[in-house]
Amino acid sequence: MQNEVVSREEWLEARRALLVKEKEETRLRDSVNAARLALPWVKVDKDYIFETPEGGKSLADLFDGRSQLLIYHFMLGPDWDAGCTGCSFLSDHVDGALPHLNHHDVTWVAVSRAPLDKIAAYKQRMGWQFPWVSSFGSDFNFDYHVSFSPEDLAKDKVFYNFTPMQPADANDELPGLSAFYRNDKGEVFHTYSSYARGPEELIGTLMILDRAPKGRNEDSTMNFVRRHDEYEEAAKAPSCCH
């Protein structure tokens, strides 16, 4: 279905009206960002040990000498054969940002409950370079409400995205992003978490598609997404010269 076709003058009038809304959105985003930075913090007193290629590491160790840590809760369970398609889509956008994050005092780490060998195999398949560690054997994923045991899923409600939800709408693994700060004394604080579609702005492809003529062109949220090695070459549009 094609949109209404108008004169350049009519288009310019409509575009200026949209620009007003875009500027409102920008100001609202600035306001939300300021409110996010003003959130109170929670001190992390629990000891978590993560399995890494260099051996066991604590949460403080994951900062890698920096003061800020972003953890992406990547959906890859202990018995999963491959990582979540949506998490993989987001993670395709990370490697290019790493030098900029690291030089701005921010460390990015993906965390999954899958054992390290399964993580390493999938990471190699996808060709990623960002750090990715296993929380298998610790309570980390459960404490940050991104993993759910069979007992959890058998209850009336599970807690996700700061809200009780029906277990039928949940899964054993769900996505999220959490932020932490480490001070000069080595104390670690949980500063922020976001779940469900919260980290969507990290997916640059979606932001680009939002500006394409057909937008995301989806029937449901990201239903068009595949792992980047699973796409079939798109059929080329027929040429009027053939």
Planar angle of CA 129, 146, 204, nearest 5 degrees:
45
Q: Tokens 């003061």 identify what position? A: 67
**DSSP state string for 3-71:** PPP--HHHHHHHHHHHHHHHHHHHHHHHHHHHHHHT---EE--S--EEEETTEEEETTGGGTT-SEEEE
Q: Distance between CA atoms of 112 and 56, rounded to whole angstroms?
A: 14
Residue 232 binned pLDDT confidence (cut-offs 50, 70, 90): confident
- Architecture of the domain spanning 45-202: 3-Layer(aba) Sandwich (3.40)
For residue range 137-153, list pLDDT tens digits in order. 999 999 999 999 999 99
Distances (CA, A) of 233 to 193, 228, 229, 236: 37, 11, 11, 9
For residue range 27-78, list pLDDT tens digits in order. 999 999 999 999 999 999 999 999 999 999 999 999 999 999 999 999 999 9
Q: Rounded to two decimals, what is the model's pTM?
A: 0.92
The answer to whether residue 169 scores a pLDDT higher than 90 is: no
Q: For position 179, what pLDDT does the model report? A: 98
Residue 211: DSSP 8-state: T
Average pLDDT (1-14) is: 93
The answer to whether residue 135 scores a pLDDT higher than 50 is: yes
Taking all residues of the chain, what is their mean pLDDT, rounded to a whole number? 94
For residue range 71-100, list pLDDT tens digits in order. 999 999 999 999 999 999 999 999 999 999
Please state the domain extents for the chain: 45-202
Kindly report the backbone phi and psi dihedral angles of residue 62, in degrees, each rounded to the nearest multiple of 5, phi listed first. -65, -20
Provide the pairing of β-strand 163-165 with 176-182. Answer: unpaired
Q: Residues 139, 48: contact at Cβ < 8 Å?
A: yes
For residue range 176-192, list pLDDT tens digits in order. 999 999 999 999 999 99
Tell me if residue 238 falls in helix, strand or coil: coil
Q: Residues 160, 145: contact at Cβ < 8 Å?
A: yes
Residue 18 binned pLDDT confidence (cut-offs 50, 70, 90): very high
Tell me if residue 82 falls in helix, strand or coil: coil
